[in-house]
Amino acid sequence: METCILKQDFGFYKMYNIGADEMQERKLLLFIMDGVGDRPIPELGGKTPLEAAKTLTMDKLAQLGITGHLHTIGQGITPGSDTAHLALFGYNPYEVYTGRGPFEAAGTDVSVKPGDIAFRTNMATIKDGIILDRRAGRISEGTLEIEQALQNIRIEDIETIFKVGIDHRASLVLRGPGLSNNVTGNDPKIENKKPNPIIPTSLEAEKTARVLKQFIREASEIMASLEINQKRISKNKLPANYLLVRGAGKAPHLENFQTKYGLTAECVAGGGLYKGVASICGMKINNNHAGTGGVPTDLHSKVKAVMKSLQRSQFVFLHVKGTDNFGHDNKPLQKMEFIDEIDIAIEPFLELLPETIICITGDHSTPCVMRDHSSDPLPVLIVGEGVRPDQVTEFGERPTMRGGLGHLIGQQLIPLMLGIAGRVHKFGA
C-alpha cells in the first residue's frame, strides 16, 4: 500500500506518494453542506440559519472534535462551487481550473475528450427576446424529451452533445476541429434582460462562437415546438424554450485522487457538478441513493449510501445541495429547517467514531440577504481518534471562531485529516 508525505509550498500543501510498509486503516469522511454559511438574520433573532437550527448531532461532533474557520480558496475571494470543491479536494484551482463546463458534462455522464469545449447550460424561458426565467420555472419533468429532440444537431463540422441533468440544468459539449474555450456565454444571470451576445475573446475562438450561436438558434426553434412545452403553456407553466450557456471550458488535467493521496475514494452526491468534479478527480460515484441534488431530497438515503461506501473505500465525499438553494432564494427559515433535517439524517455518523475521521464544512457561504455566494468564511469541524478537542460546544459561524483549528484554507483540509488518521510519513529524519 501507499501513504503520503506533505510538502508545504507558499502556504499550500502538495502531496507526494512514497512507499510504506503499513498504513493505518482509519477512514476519512468529508461532508460538504453547499452554501451553508450565512449572515445574521433579524427574523431568526440575529442568528444565522445554521446557528438557529437544532443541530444536536453537529453540536455533539463539535464537542468531541476541533473546530475553526475556513476560506475554501482564500480570504476576500468569493468561490464558485467548482473552484471551491477543487480546493477542498486539495487541488490549486489557480493551476488546474479550465472552466465549469467540463465538470457539468462529467456530472451528466458525458466524457469530455481532449479538444472538446463544454458549457454549463440552463433550460430557460424567453419571450420576445427577453429572458422571463433563467430556470424555466425550475422545470423538473419532461426534460428527457428536450434532450432527445436536441440530439444529432451538427453545425459545420462540429458534433454537439446535449445532456440534461437535474431540473433545469444541462450540459453542452462541442466536439470537432478548431475549437476554443475563449468565448463568452449568453447568460446575464438575471431575468428581464436580453441574452448577452456570444463573443470570441481570441481570434481562434471565432469558429466556436459562430457554431455556438447557430446551435442555440436551432435548439430554440426545436424546443418551442415540443409537446412538453405546449403542455406547460396550457397549464400556465413556463416553457423551456431557450438555452443559456456559460462556463466554457476544456478538459482539465488533474492528478488522480488515489495517486495524490494513496486513498481509494467515492462520492455520494445528487448534483451533476459535484459528481463531475469528483469523477474528473478519479473518485467513483455512488449513485445508489435517492438524493436529488436539490430540494426535496432523501437525506437518509444518502447517509445510508455513505455508510456503504465507507465499507469499501478509504475516503468518502458527501455533498448536500439544498442549503445553497435556500440561500439563493432568500429563504432563511427554510434554510434553517433544512439544516434541522440534515442534522437528524447524519446522526448515524456518530457510530463511525472514533475510527473514522469526519470533517464537516461548506464550499462557500450563500447569505440569504445576498442571494449569491460571498467571501464570508465557513465553520469547519474535524472529529475522530487523534483529534485534540477544543472548548467549542456548538457548530455555527460564530461559535467556531473560537476553535483550535484557527483559520484554514480549503487545500489544507485533507492533509490535516490524513495527519490525524496517521496516514502520512515524517518529513525529514
Q: 312-364, pLDDT tens digit by residue?
A: 999 999 999 999 999 999 999 999 999 999 999 999 999 999 999 999 999 99
In the chain, count H helices and then E strands.
14, 16
What local confidence, expressed as pLDDT, does residue 24 receive? Answer: 52
22 vs 304 pLDDT, higher one: 304
Which H helix or E strand runs over 83?
helix 81-88
Domain with CATH 3.30.70 in the chain: 104-249
pLDDT tens, residue by residue, 111-152: 888 899 999 999 999 999 999 999 999 898 899 999 999 998
CA 127 to chain centre: 31
Domain 104-249 falls in which CATH fold? Alpha-Beta Plaits (3.30.70)
The superfamily CATH assigns to domain 2-97+253-420 is Alkaline Phosphatase, subunit A (3.40.720.10)
What local confidence, expressed as pLDDT, does residue 371 receive? Answer: 96
Contact yes or no for 113/177 (Cβ under 8 A): no
| Mean pLDDT within 211-218 | 98
What local confidence, expressed as pLDDT, does residue 373 receive? Answer: 98
Domain with CATH 3.40.720.10 in the chain: 2-97+253-420
pLDDT tens, residue by residue, 385-395: 999 999 999 99
Amino acid identity at 116? D
The three cell numbers of residue 248 are 466554457
What average pLDDT does the structure give for the chain? 93
Contact yes or no for 411/13 (Cβ under 8 A): yes
What local confidence, expressed as pLDDT, does residue 425 receive? Answer: 84
Q: How is residue 190 annotated by DSSP?
A: S
What local confidence, expressed as pLDDT, does residue 25 receive? Answer: 76
What local confidence, expressed as pLDDT, does residue 21 receive? Answer: 38
> DSSP letter string over 263-321?
--EEEE-SSHHHHHHHHHHTPEE---S---SSSS--HHHHHHHHHHHHHH-SEEEEEE-
With a cut of 60, say whether residue 4 has pLDDT above it: no
